[in-house]
Amino acid sequence: MTLTADDVKKIAHLARLGINQQDVTSYTQDLSGMLALMTQMGATNTDNVLPMAHPMDQTQRLRVDEVTESDNRANFQVIAPQVEDGLYLVPKVIE
Amino acid sequence: MHTKSIKDLAQGMRAGEFSSVELTQAFLARIKQHQPLNCFVTVTEDLALQAAKQADARIATGDASLLAGIPIAQKDIFCTQGVKTSCGSKMLDNFIAPYNATVVEKLNAAGAVMLGKLNMDEFAMGSSNETSYYGAVKNPWHTDCVPGGSSGGSAAAVSARLVVCATGTDTGGSIRQPAAHCGITGLKPTYGRVSRYGMIAYASSLDQGGPMARSAEDCAILMQAMAGFDAKDSTSVDLPVPDYRADLNAELKGLTIGLPKEFFGDGLSGNVAAVIEQAIKEYQKLGATVKEVSMPNLKLAIPAYYVIAPAECSANLSRFDGVRFGYRCENPQDLADLYTRSRGEAFGKEVKRRILMGTYALSAGYYDAYYIKAQKIRRLISEDFKKTLTEVDVIMGPVTPTTAFGIGEKMANPIEMYLSDIYTIAINLAGLPAMSIPAGFAEGKPVGLQVIGNYFKEDRLLNIAHKYQQVTDWHQRSPKGFE
C-alpha cells in the first residue's frame, strides 16, 4: 500500500494538522514505509481472534453519579490563551 | 554523597552526617555543573530547598519514610502543580500544570525532594530523546551518543548522578531502553499498577509509569511509593501492593528462565548477545535453569504497535487545539485555521507523523484492516506470553539490539528507529512488567538485560535483579567524568 501526496493532505485535514508543503513528500514516504511494515500482519490468520483493547481485558470502572469535584474554572482558565467572563474565546464562528 | 544508595542516604541523614538540605544543594550543584548533558527542562531549586527543609524536620521527628529528603526528579510528562510541564513539546512550553499527577502527589507525600523536570522525547514519542523541543540529551557514557528514549533525561540524570532516582514512563520501551543505554536499572510495571492520572497520555492502553534508579533495591523503594490503586485513573487495578523489599534476597534456586529464540536471532549485535549470555550464566550459577522457548507472534509486535499507539495518540492529542491551554497561533483567521495552525506550528515532526498514521488507521474504510487487525495480533502476542509464562518463571533477553547509537544517526530514517524497539514493544502490548538491569559493556557502552515477569509480579522481578546485583557491580559503575 502506497500513499500519495493528496492522501497525506487529506489525512492532515482530517487531523486538523498543519503540515508544511515541503514536508509532504517525506511524510508520504514515511507513512508508506509504515504501511509496508504493517502488511506483515496480513500473513497471520486472525479470523477467530477477539480484538484486544486492554491488557487485562478490564471494562471501564464506573463510579456513583455524585458531585465530587469543586469548581476549578478560574484556576483552569489562568492558563488559557484567551478567556472572557469565564468563556474560552475563539474566532467568530457564526456571523 | 552522590554515589550512595537510598538506604545509605536515609541512614546518613538519620545519623546526622548530612541533612537533606545539604544533600539537595550537592545535587543541585551537580545539575549545574553537568548542564551540557541537557537532562533537565526545568530545575526547581527554590521548591527543592523548601521541600528539603521540610524533610529534615520530618526526619528529626523519627517518623519519615526512606524516601524522605532524597533528591529525585520527575519526567516532564507528569503534571506538577505550579511548575511548567512541557512533555518535551513546544505545544506545552507555556503550560503550568494546575494540578499534580498522582505519582507526584505520592512522592511528595513520601517526602522525596523534587529537583526538577526531566527532558524527554516530545510527548514520549521517540527512542533517542532527539525529538524533544528542548534538544537532545547526551549519554553520559559517550556524549556523542543518545541516552535512549523517551525517558532519556531520566536515565541520563540517574546515570550521571544528578539525581538519586527518577520517574519514567514506558509505552513501548521508554523506561527499559534508556535504562539499558545509560547503564541504570529501570522497571516498567504491569499495566494498571501505577496511576496514569496526571501523566500526559500518549497511548492510553500501553502507557505505564515506573521507577528508574541505580539499583533494583532503589527501584523497589521508589516503586513502593508510586504503586497503588487510584480512583482517578479508570484503568488503575485495585489490588493490594506488596512490600517490594520484603523478598529482595529470596534465593533463586529453582528459578526457570525462558529464552525466546526470537530474541536471539538476526539483528541482535554479536557483542550485545555475548553480554546477555554471560549474564544468563551468572543466573545459572545462582541456581536458575534455562529453557529455550518460542513466541512466534513476537515478530508482529512492531507492526501492531505502530497501528495501535499512533491510533491512540491521534485521539489523545486532539485535545491540543489552541483553545484551553498550550500553544495558540498568532492571528487565526477562523476556527479551523486556529486548530490547524496551532497544531501545525507546535507539534514536531515525529508527533505529526504518528498523528497522521493514527488518523489514517482509524479513518473510514481502513479501521478493520489496520486497527482491528492490530488488536487481534495484540491478543496473539499476549497469548504467546501467557503460555510461555506457564512453562517458565521469567523470560530473559536483550533490551536493545545494539548499544546506544550516535546522536543524529537514525533521525533521517524513522522506520529504522522504530525497529530498535523490537525487544521491548511486545511487553507493552501484553501489559506485562519487565525490567532492564545493567549487565556489562560492549564497545565501552552499557548493555541492559531484560527480565520479563508475570502480571503483578514486580516483587519477583526486583528480587531477581537484586540477587544479580549482589554478585555483579555493573550497576555501581559510573561514567567517566561523573564519578
Of B89, B128, B132, B150, the catalytic one is B150
Q: Cβ A41–B373 below 8 Å, yes or no?
A: yes
For B165-197, write each residue's pLDDT tens digit.
999 999 999 999 999 999 999 999 999 999 999
Q: How far apart are CA B147 and CA B160, in angstroms?
A: 11
- The yes-or-no verdict on residue A13 having pLDDT over 90 is yes
Q: Is residue A59 part of a domain?
A: no
Q: Is residue A30 part of a domain?
A: yes
Question: pTM for the full model?
Answer: 0.97
Q: Cβ B359–A15 below 8 Å, yes or no?
A: yes
Residue in B52, B101, B98 with CA at minimum distance from that of residue B76: B101
User: In total, how many domains does chain A have?
Assistant: 1
- pLDDT of res. A57: 74
Average pLDDT of every residue of chain B: 97
Which helix (H) or strand (E) segment holds residue B448: the answer is strand B445-452
Residue in B368, B427, B455 with CA at minimum distance from that of residue B175: B427
> Nearest CB to A56: which of B237, B303, B373?
B237
Q: Is residue A32 part of a domain?
A: yes
Evaluate whether B269 touches B403 at the Cβ level (below 8 Å). yes
- pLDDT of res. B126: 96
Binning pLDDT at 50, 70 and 90, where does residue B328 land? very high
Stretch 240-299 of chain B: residues touching chain A, C-beta under 8 Å: 297, 299
Q: How far apart are CA B236 and CA B234, in angstroms?
A: 6
Q: Is residue A49 part of a domain?
A: no
Which helix (H) or strand (E) segment holds residue B354: the answer is helix B349-362
- The yes-or-no verdict on residue A58 having pLDDT over 80 is no
Q: How far apart are CA B129 and CA B346, in angstroms?
A: 17
- The yes-or-no verdict on residue B154 having pLDDT over 90 is yes
Place of cell 501523566: B199
Structural domain containing residue A11:
5-42
One-character DSSP codes across B18-84: S-HHHHHHHHHHHHHHTGGG--EEEE-HHHHHHHHHHHHHHHHHT---TTTT-EEEEETTB-BTTBB
Q: Is residue A36 part of a domain?
A: yes
- pLDDT of res. B116: 98
Domain range annotation of chain B: 6-255+392-476, 300-367
Phi (first) and psi of residue B391, to 5 degrees: -95, -30
Residue of B425 and A63 predicted with greater confidence: B425
- The yes-or-no verdict on residue B8 having pLDDT over 90 is yes
- The yes-or-no verdict on residue A95 having pLDDT over 90 is no
- The yes-or-no verdict on residue B461 having pLDDT over 90 is yes
Question: How far is C-alpha B399 from the chain's CA centre?
Answer: 13
- The yes-or-no verdict on residue B249 having pLDDT over 90 is yes
Choose the most confident range, by mean pLDDT, from A30-44, B402-416, B453-467.
B453-467
- pLDDT of res. B480: 96
For residues B439-454, average pLDDT: 97
Question: How far is C-alpha B54 from the chain's CA centre?
Answer: 28
- pLDDT of res. A60: 79
**CATH 3.90.1300.10 fits domain B6-255+392-476:** yes
Q: What is the ipTM of this complex?
A: 0.95
User: Hey, what's the cell of B25?
Assistant: 544543594
Binning pLDDT at 50, 70 and 90, where does residue A63 land? confident
User: Hey, what's the cell of B344?
Assistant: 501545525
> Nearest CB to B356: which of A11, A49, A92?
A11
Q: Is residue A83 part of a domain?
A: no
The CA distances from residue B81 to A22, B87, B168, B198, in Å, are 39, 14, 18, 10
